[in-house]
Structure 1
Amino acid sequence: MPVSLERLIAEVEPNVITEGLTRDCIQILGGDPDHASDKKSSIAWRDVECVAYSFKSIAMIDNLNGLDNLTKLQLDNNQITRIENIGHLVNLCWLDLSFNKINRIEGLEKLVNLVDLSLFNNQIEVIENLENQTNLNVLSLGNNQLKKLDNVMYLRQFRNLRLVNLAGNPFCKEHDYRSYVLSHIKDLTYLDYRRVAANDVNSAMEQHQDEMIDLQEREEQAVLDEKLAGEKAVHNALMLEANLDGVESLLEDMTKDDPDWARFVQVPGLTDGWNDVKEKFLVATDDFKTTILEQHGKKKAEHEEWLAVIKTLLGERDQQAKVLILEYEKIKKKVGRAIQENPGDVFLLDHPKIRLIALKDELLDIEMEVVESLQELVAEFDRNYSEIAEANKANYSAYFGQVRDFQNNFFAALSQQALAMFEKYNQENSDIESLPEEARLLLQDKEQLVNALQASHDLHTVKIDTLEDRLATTEMRRANELAHKNAMWAAKRNRDRVSEIVNYVERNMIELEEMADMEEMGDA
């Protein structure tokens, strides 16, 4: 009776991946086959694109360091039990782990470029941990231990998946296996090595119609939610960048963190005036945001214009320095050729030496001009940017003054109305018992009521003051930090350029001295 291939592999002594094994398994694509062996032994790890460890009795994936540019890796027909130690192979497009003993999909999180993945003939029970493989086009999970058909739903997220093999799994025995897969995985071209026909998909969709309608509705809502979340994230990022974060939610934050507000809203009609505050707040806030966003645009434009001027200045001065350096290099080469032709004329080196000393002074003069120009430009930018920031401080002050007025007017009206309600509900035959317990307790004690009103007002006022202080402080801090950053950049650029000039001159002077010494040694 013939022995199965799997049994033969299992009976072989487990192997480990060594450098020698890897060299043997490197696949040389194209070129002369006769020279493939030589190329395998000499190729650098970084240049290896394909390695095939098929039928090597490997028990553990390891020792693949340095093969970072692999695009294709074959580890099929081995004794591997776990997917590991391949996270650094981020360029992999094709991975074959078929015919092993793997029981869990894992260790692939960083392999985001995978297009073709084969885990055929393993012991996998769940399709999982493939969220990052969004480029998957081919996936083979046939001959595994997949039992739950609804696990196929996991594959619906892969929009590029066209070929799927699931044949040989326990769930394939279910009567609606094929129709379930075709209805739940979109745009398949092949399923279990059979081409998918359009009418098969239509029939599958009809068979699972109710479930698919519900699923599609959920997916459409998820897409909409994701879009709205993305728009909100972009908006919030703009608010933060423009130093407006916290403004839109100020009223909500005031009431949310107010422990007495929950009691006020239980008293019928007591907080109705807050709706008027909300309307006025929205109008004032929209105008304020428009103003600050315009100022934000001015700041960005000012910075971009400043950077453009800096780039032009440095480009012109660099070109000026480049012309001088090229002129010197021509002199040095010309003298070098002349000395080669007439070794005794070492006195010719005096000319490039003198020119090199003069070049140093000329380059330092150019750099000094740049330093002076940059100082003026940095100072001018600081003035212009600070003016916008100062104007914003005034805008913050005016806006938050409005919000304080809204709060103060509301507090005055709220206090008056609350005291009137206190009188009303504390008369004989009042319907105070009809109120919720918290409202009833509040209106039965005048001192407690007055204290609650004042505490609420104080908390709202603190919220307004705190936000204004934070935004105004942030506005000036950002301006100061940017000015400091620009000044530090200019100073570092100057130090680096002076160092470059000095090093260039020293290197060339040494080179000229060495040329002279070599000629003198030749004469001797």
Structure 2
Amino acid sequence: MAGHEVKPEDVFMDEAMVEKAANEQNSHQKGEEINFSQVFEIRLAYRNILNIDNLWDYTSLTRLDLNNNMIKIIDGLDHLIHLKWLNLSFNQIKKIQGLQSLQKLDLLNLSYNRISVIENMDKLEKLTHFSIAHNLLQQLDNVRYLRQLKGLFSLNLFGNPLCEEDDYLLFIAGYLPNLTSLDSRIIHQETKNKASIKYHDDIEKIKHEELQLQQALDAEQREKAERQLHKDAFVEFLNGSYFFKSMLKDDPEAETLHCVTGVTDLLQKYPLILGFLIIHQMVALCTQLFEIGLTEHERRKTEIKSFFSGLNQTFKFYQQEALQIVANVDQQHKEVGWETFYHILSKQVQSLNLLLQISNTNSPVYTFLEDCTVCRDLEDNYYLNMQKIAVETLEKVAKDDLEEDIPDDVKILFTDKDAVMDVLTTSHDNHLLKLYNRETQLITDVNAWKAATIEGVGSGNGFRANITCFVVQCSTSTPYAPGLIYLFIFFVFMCYFRFKRHSLSRVVCASRTHLDMQSI
């Protein structure tokens, strides 16, 4: 703390202090090292602590008591996302801050501090008990800030200057209708009724404003969710005319060229070979891609969900059958049923085949590439017609035979043929670059999704957890189990790694050969 002279009784909250408190206050075997991530409560009251620090490892904390210290700033709590109880009473805090991450907080005690404004609590949506007694709150209107905390039903403001206001009780009861307790006293329904009548007009106005704000927030959330959906479907900004307009927007000389007679008509009315207008055709292509992308996104979600569900169910079922085979080995005196065991394991391959459908995401990609080719054809037609109009305009300017008025800067540009053609070429190149970049973006995003999905199959909720469980169950069941376990692991992991190379059929052949050799 810059400029603070540390007194003999002042204490910094270091790692040793926190660790000692965690060991003393949480039950564990004597001599056993405590797991910080499994500590749920820490109490460090009456320690003359100056700061909140060194709590990074205690990510599971649900209760933290730091009352009766010398803390001035609320910080160092960002990672305590599971905290439900926070007691910072009897400190020297002047400002409410640093609570944004504590979205599960149920009780907050800031009594006996130096706080003058209630603020920065909008993320505490689950707060039910709030005590800020004996602080420096003076503005009764400031309490209305707490209206956004819909779950708050117990509030303690006792000992603040605002409590001396004549309408204190009615004001709180009127503007915070969900409260049931104020300053440790029950708010009776009669009081709420009086408050509702007294502040009816103001409260209705506030409700209207809150409704408008909530509607705006809801609309923003819907737009955000929609953008994310479009991104997940790889079709962001392809609905409507956005993409076409973005191509024209980046033309360095677009405005100048559009002043020439015929260019505007070309943009809006130029008929193409297919009989569509250039803008309408571009938009139609983008809309088609957009709809295909959304449809494919839903199909992928359904297939992935179905795959993991089927994989888990299939594994559990045949795991039991495999365990039964292992148990039968003892009874059959090493006469292992290789054919039956192979049949069971091959069922796992059938479930893996479903995931190969991920590779079929190439189909909509090819559709997109085909449409990009059509878009390039449209752009080429547009470019050629722009050239024709430019040549005609150059000839008219050279002959001083312009029938219409155009800006002087456009006339000057069209006195230089090379400059005009350079502008057109640059414009054409920019349009093609836009198409190329969007094409590359979609292919990159699809490939990244495929890689991440396939990689996810080999992680926790795919093979590893199930195989680990199977090995543990088999390892002690019979002296002949290791052979079956090794074969099972070999079979499944070979399937997985070969699957990543899209060669599942060769895996089946290789595994069959291996099984046949073992049976011989």
Higher helix share: 1
**Any stretches of 5+ residues in structure 2 without a counterpart?**
1-7, 269-276, 482-520
- 1:283 maps to what in 2? 284
Q: Is the 8 A contact 1:117 1:140 kept in 2?
A: yes
Root mean square deviation, CA, Å: 5.4
- 2:246 maps to what in 1? 253
Q: Distance in 2 between matches of 1:115 and 1:286?
A: 48
- 1:449 maps to what in 2? 420
- 1:465 maps to what in 2? 436
Give the alignment of 1:295-310 within 5 angstroms.
295-299=296-300, 310=311
Q: Is the 8 A contact 1:254 1:460 kept in 2?
A: yes
2:192 counterpart letter in structure 1: A
1:430 Cα deviation (Å)? 6.1
- 1:407 maps to what in 2? 379
Q: 1:123 to 1:374 in 2, by over 3 A?
A: same
Q: 1:441 to 1:161 in 2, by over 3 A?
A: farther
Q: Is the 8 A contact 1:390 1:476 kept in 2?
A: no
- 2:150 maps to what in 1? 159
2:135 counterpart letter in structure 1: N
- Whether 1:204 aligns to 2:199 is yes
SS at match of 1:271: helix
Structure 1 residue corresponding to 2:91, chosen from 92, 100, 104: 100
Could you state the TM-score of these two structures normalised by the residue count of structure 2? 0.65
Q: Distance in 1 between matches of 2:20 and 2:347?
A: 63
1:200 counterpart letter in structure 2: A
SS at match of 1:407: helix
1:135 Cα deviation (Å)? 0.9
Q: Is the 8 A contact 1:26 1:48 kept in 2?
A: no
Structure 2 residue corresponding to 1:116, chosen from 107, 111, 118: 107
Question: What is the count of residue pairs matched by the alignment?
Answer: 455
1:432 Cα deviation (Å)? 7.8
Q: Distance in 2 between matches of 1:312 and 1:27?
A: 40
Give the alignment of 1:64-463 within 5 angstroms.
71-83=62-74, 90-146=81-137, 152=143, 154-169=145-160, 187-190=178-181, 195=187, 197-204=192-199, 206-207=201-202, 212=206, 215-216=209-210, 219-220=213-214, 222-240=216-234, 244-245=235-236, 247-248=238-239, 249-265=242-258, 270-275=263-268, 276-299=277-300, 310-311=311-312, 313-326=314-327, 355=333, 357-358=334-335, 361-362=336-337, 368-369=342-343, 372=346, 374=348, 378=352, 382=356, 385-386=358-359, 388-422=360-394, 435=407, 439-463=410-434
Which stretch of the first structure deviates more once superposed, 272-281 or 132-141?
Answer: 272-281
1:456 Cα deviation (Å)? 1.0
- 1:517 maps to what in 2? none
2:318 counterpart letter in structure 1: R
Q: Distance in 2 between matches of 1:98 and 1:380?
A: 59
Q: 1:273 to 1:493 in 2, by over 3 A?
A: same
Q: Distance in 1 between matches of 2:177 and 2:159?
A: 21
Q: Distance in 1 between matches of 2:81 and 2:221?
A: 29
1:369 Cα deviation (Å)? 4.5
Q: 1:460 to 1:24 in 2, by over 3 A?
A: closer
- 1:522 maps to what in 2? none
Q: 1:123 to 1:461 in 2, by over 3 A?
A: same
Q: 1:438 to 1:166 in 2, by over 3 A?
A: farther
Identity in percent = 23
- 1:337 maps to what in 2? none
1:232 counterpart letter in structure 2: E
1:119 Cα deviation (Å)? 0.9
1:486 Cα deviation (Å)? 6.5
Q: Which has the higher contact order (CA 8 A, sep 6+)?
A: 1
SS at match of 2:134: coil
1:456 counterpart letter in structure 2: S
Q: Distance in 1 between matches of 2:19 and 2:135?
A: 32
Q: Is the 8 A contact 1:179 1:207 kept in 2?
A: no
Q: 1:82 to 1:473 in 2, by over 3 A?
A: closer
1:200-239: CA deviation from partner (whole Å, max 9, x where unpaired): 24533535887x4884475145324423423423432342
Give the alignment of 1:24-43 within 5 angstroms.
none
1:127 counterpart letter in structure 2: I
Q: Is the 8 A contact 2:315 2:466 kept in 1?
A: no
Could you state the TM-score of these two structures normalised by the residue count of structure 1? 0.65
**Any stretches of 5+ residues in structure 1 without a counterpart?**
1-11, 29-38, 332-351, 511-524
Q: 1:390 to 1:123 in 2, by over 3 A?
A: closer
Structure 1 residue corresponding to 2:475, chosen from 501, 504, 522: 504
Q: Distance in 2 between matches of 1:144 and 1:428?
A: 83
SS at match of 1:130: coil
Q: Is the 8 A contact 2:11 2:49 kept in 1?
A: yes
